[in-house]
Amino acid sequence: MENAIQSNTDLKPKKRRSQFGEIWKRFKRNPLAIVGLVLIVLMFLMAALADVIAPGDGVFAGYNLQDWNRIRQFPSAEHWFGTDDIGRDVFSRVVHGSRISLQVGFVVIIIGITVGIPLGAIAGYYKGILDNVIMRFIDILLAVPNILLAIAIAAALGPGITNVMIAVGIGAIPIYARTVRAQVLAVKEQEFVEAARAAGANDFRIIRRHILPNCMAPVIVEASMGMAGAIMAAAGLSFIGLGAQAPTPEWGAMLADGRLRMLAGYWHLTLFPGLMIALIIFALNMMGDGLRDALDPKLRSGGFSKKRFRRIQLAKAAAQNNSGEGQ
């Protein structure tokens, strides 16, 4: 008897189709999303291994090492991305800059989500006065442009990357609150919520276990796109001098430093940091798109687009070719 049970449990993992597996299966069907994911993984590796790729000594000689003998050199075998005004290696700075951008992206998303989701969920679930109070507060946040808010916070707390994260993070709250509220409004009317109530679940449990998981798809997509927006906003703030301060190797700040030299023909000072910003934003957006399709088990968003239909046709044709070759 025990053996029988044992063998049964042994079989299970094979048969199990996990939720993650399902999502991954759909996600990997989208080549652009995979490109985005690969780029983001590379970006993460770059950030994690920044000290290995561009160590403090040796060829790249540290991202903050100034060398007056190599001012404004164009890219070469020794300095892949060239050197800047005060002889710092641009490649090292770009590599180390990924740490800051990713950190900004994550902290902003975390601020936005941890504040925005509960606010949106409470507003949507309880409606009434609570909803009004919360959403008017959100409206106030929305009424202040993020840049203005950041300027105000920078003025109050002083410029710096931490304050930029706080400012952009606060600016990100309304998107999540609104997205979640709209979702909650729709989801809470569904029968399974009433079923959960009929099963004796309390409000907290209903929100956490039954409503929020069904609201997450747009939030995850929003987070992936929002991270791109946050990185852009932080770079923008650094560009106008409110964010990362010298000598922090922030991409936006590097753009600002190099922009005057660009007119003098030193294109490498702005091209590489600019390219990195563009690349990470592109990657996050592509991944966000892919996630949106993958997270939707019923393909609610758009159903069969021409593109997807073609993709499936191509996949089928490829599969046929493969099997043909196999024979």
Partner 1 sequence: MANELYRGKLLNISDLSIHFFIEEGTVHAVNGLNIALAPGETIGLVGETGAGKTTTALGIMRLVQSPPGMVVEGKIEFEGRDLLEISEAEMRKVRGSKISMIFQDPMTSLNPTIPVRDQIAEVVLLHENVSAQQALFKAEEMLEKVGIRKERSREYPHQFSGGMRQRVGIAIALACNPALLISDEPTTALDVTIQAQVLELMKDLKVEFNTAMIMITHDLGIVAEICDKVAIMYAGSVVETADKYELFKNPKHPYTIGLFNSLPDIEKDEDRLVPIKGLMPDPMNLPPGCPFHPRCDRAMPQCSEIVPENTEVADGHVVRCLLYEAEHNKEKGV
Residue 20 as a binder of partner 1 (CB under 8 A): the answer is: no
* DSSP SS3 for 58: coil
CA atoms within 13 A on the CB side of 26: 18
CB under 8 Å to 229, separation ≥6 — which residues?
Answer: 172
Residue 214 as a binder of partner 1 (CB under 8 A): the answer is: yes
Among 143, 298, 325, 327, binds partner 1 (CB under 8 A): 298
Among 200, 265, 324, 326, binds partner 1 (CB under 8 A): 200
| String marking each residue 154-193 x if it binds partner 1 according to CB under 8 A | ------------------------------------xxx-
Among 39, 115, 147, 196, binds partner 1 (CB under 8 A): 196
CB nearer partner 1, residue 57 or residue 191: 191
Q: Phi first, then psi: what are they for 132, rounded to 5°?
A: -60, -45
Tokens for 244, please give them: 């990362």
Q: Which pairs from 255-261 meet CB under 8 Å and 24+ separation? A: 257/84, 257/85, 258/84, 258/85, 261/72, 261/85
CB nearer partner 1, residue 20 or residue 68: 20
Measured in whole angstroms, how far is the alpha carbon of residue 69 from the centre of its chain? Answer: 39
The residue type found at 101 is S
- 190-213 in b/e burial notation, b at 16+ Cβ within 10 A? eeebeebeeeebeeeebbeebbbe
Closest approach of partner 1 to the CB of residue 30, in Å? 20
CB nearer partner 1, residue 77 or residue 198: 198
Tokens for 141, please give them: 């946040």
Closest approach of partner 1 to the CB of residue 291, in Å? 15
Residue 299 as a binder of partner 1 (CB under 8 A): the answer is: no
CB nearer partner 1, residue 58 or residue 128: 128
Q: Phi first, then psi: what are they for 13, rounded to 5°?
A: -55, -35
CA atoms within 13 A on the CB side of 31: 7
Among 21, 31, 56, 213, binds partner 1 (CB under 8 A): 213
Q: Which stretch binds partner 1 (CB under 8 A): 8-16, 46-54, 116-124, 237-245?
A: 8-16
CA–CA separation, 269 and 74 (whole Å): 9
Q: Which stretch binds partner 1 (CB under 8 A): 149-157, 170-178, 204-212, 264-272?
A: 204-212
Binding site for partner 1 (CB under 8 A): 8, 11-12, 15-17, 19, 190-192, 194-202, 205, 209-210, 213-214, 297-298
